[in-house]
Structure formats: C-alpha cells, structure tokens
Amino acid sequence: MGISRQFTEWLYMTVR
C-alpha cells in the first residue's frame, strides 16, 4: 500500500 503512517494515524483519530 502507498499510504503514509501519519495519514493512517490521522484517519484513525478522525474516524474515531
């Protein structure tokens, strides 16, 4: 996958 780790962390916090 070409997703950045920071992007995933931000998404997790946003989706939460």
Residue range 2-12, pLDDT digits in tens:
789 999 999 99
CA atoms of 6 and 13, how far apart (whole Å): 11
pLDDT of residue 3: 85
pTM (predicted TM-score): 0.16
How wide is the angle at C-alpha 10 spanned by C-alphas 12 and 4, nearest 5°?
105
- In the three-class reduction of DSSP (H, G, I as helix; E, B as strand; rest coil), residue 9 is classed as helix
Residue 5 pLDDT: 93
| Residue 2, token pair as written in the block | 């070409």
User: Distances from the Cα of 11 to the Cαs of 1, 2, 16, in angstroms?
Assistant: 15, 15, 8
Position 1 scores a pLDDT of: 62
- The predicted pLDDT at position 2 comes to 78
Residues 8, 15: Cα–Cα separation, whole Å: 10
